[in-house]
């Protein structure tokens, strides 16, 4: 359904002379979009009551040692290696947390559910997760809550009532603005672009794309959205999809958005191998180490992200605060160790901070 909506939106927009003029797509959910101001004026977070879940019969864990498992979308890639490091760093700093990361080697929701279910059975005090699918993962997370297990998400959310809190790396409209503004700067106000994402239902990517569409319609209305393609979290498929877009659209294609830490370097490699550096811009979400070769060769100028080590660190701090009873429904902030005080937004989300743009001037300062 989302695929059809994407293509229909693009077709209607092309007829209207603007890739976004007729698009009503809001991603893999029914949430409204909230594009930021074109001039960079900060947006205000909507005040909402707590909408997270609650564990049933959770024991008193205040200051007691707890066992926590982190089940990300997949293991073995740089991004989730970095979040895992942050989780381990926070656990060591706290001193009363035994934390491990475990999960599928592919971004497969069925496998992720199986891992979580197995840890519910074996017995843990807390579960951290980054969802491959917000709806499909909800039942197993609710099962964890029903067993008195504390549940906190990060990176990619579930349905709110399936977990207690979600640590949001940056607000979706902030990521959208950074992505679109940087591409518009590189390809111009009338440039045409395509998007390489993992799946149309992956919650964070679907929401980013929805906010990107709304922001571009508002602030860069003449940019042309050609197509969005799925590439899972697979390097070879991401490269092949980007190459197909380059061949399909020829000189019309001026930019590619990479929506994952796999899709962005793979798209940059496709542009490099097609000898299109300087002709096709790549702007995307990725870890700096994966992008350094392309940034240093001036094939990529803008990499938008946050620090995933900090994201994992914040998630672990939040889970400890929940287990201790220090973070309760209705709270407006939470103390997160070296990160200081983080704000509660949208009812049950904790905001890590604003997105960061890595460029040739600063990317060498980071190692993850």
Topology match between the domains 66-169+307-355 and 171-305: yes
| Residue 171: half-sphere exposure toward Cβ, Cα within 13 Å | 17
* Domain residue extents for the chain: 66-169+307-355, 171-305
CATH 3.40.50.2300 at 171-305, yes or no: yes
- Helix (H) or strand (E) segment spanning residue 341: strand 341-345
Give dist(CA 210, CA 195) in Å, integer. Answer: 12
- Helix (H) or strand (E) segment spanning residue 100: strand 97-101
pTM for the whole structure: 0.77
CATH T-level fold of 66-169+307-355: Rossmann fold (3.40.50)
Predicted local distance difference test score (pLDDT) of residue 43 = 62
pLDDT tens string, the chain, 368 residues long: the values are 333 333 333 332 332 334 543 343 445 567 888 999 999 876 665 568 999 999 999 999 999 999 999 999 999 998 999 999 999 999 999 999 999 999 999 999 999 999 999 999 999 999 999 999 999 999 999 999 999 999 999 999 999 999 999 999 988 899 999 999 999 999 999 999 999 999 888 888 999 999 999 999 999 999 999 999 999 989 999 999 999 999 999 999 999 999 999 999 999 999 999 999 999 999 999 999 999 999 999 999 999 999 899 999 999 999 999 999 999 999 999 999 999 999 999 899 999 988 889 999 999 988 88
Give dist(CA 7, CA 194) in Å, integer. Answer: 12
365 exposed, middle or buried (CB, 10 Å; 0-12, 13-18, 19+)?
exposed
């Amino acid at each position: 359904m989302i695929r059809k909506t994407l293509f229909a939106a693009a077709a209607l927009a092309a007829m209207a002379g603007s890739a976004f003029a007729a698009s009503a797509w809001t991603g893999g959910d029914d949430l409204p979009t909230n594009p930021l101001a074109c001039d960079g004026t900060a947006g205000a977070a909507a005040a909402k009551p707590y909408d997270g879940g609650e564990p049933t019969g959770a024991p008193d864990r205040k200051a007691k040692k707890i066992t926590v498992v982190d089940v990300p979308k997949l293991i073995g890639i740089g991004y989730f290696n970095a979040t895992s490091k942050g989780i381990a760093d926070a656990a060591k700093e706290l001193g009363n947390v035994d934390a491990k990361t475990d999960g599928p080697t592919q971004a497969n929701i069925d496998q992720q559910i199986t891992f979580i279910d197995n840890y519910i059975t074996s017995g843990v005090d807390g579960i951290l997760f980054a969802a491959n699918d917000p709806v499909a993962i909800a039942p197993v997370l609710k099962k964890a809550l029903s067993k008195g297990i504390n549940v906190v998400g990060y990176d990619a959310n579930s349905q709110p009532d399936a977990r207690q809190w979600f640590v949001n790396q940056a607000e979706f409209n902030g990521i959208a603005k950074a992505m679109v503004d940087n591409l518009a700067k590189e390809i111009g106000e009338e440039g045409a672009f395509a998007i390489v994402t993992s799946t149309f239902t992956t919650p964070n990517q679907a929401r980013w794309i929805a906010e990107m569409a709304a922001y571009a319609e508002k602030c860069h209305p003449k940019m042309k959205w050609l197509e969005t393609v799925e590439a899972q979290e697979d390097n070879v498929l991401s490269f092949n999809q980007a190459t197909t877009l380059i061949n399909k659209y020829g000189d019309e294609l001026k930019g590619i958005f990479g929506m994952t830490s796999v899709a962005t370097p793979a798209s940059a490699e496709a542009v490099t191998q097609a000898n299109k550096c300087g002709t096709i811009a790549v702007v995307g979400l990725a870890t700096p180490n994966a992008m350094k070769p392309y940034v240093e060769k001036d094939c990529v100028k803008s990499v938008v992200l946050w620090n995933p080590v900090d994201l994992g660190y914040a998630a672990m701090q939040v889970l400890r605060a929940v287990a201790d009873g220090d973070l309760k429904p209705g709270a407006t902030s939470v103390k997160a160790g070296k990160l200081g005080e983080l704000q509660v937004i949208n009812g049950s989300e904790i905001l890590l901070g604003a997105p960061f743009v890595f460029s040739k001037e600063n990317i060498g300062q980071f190692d993850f």
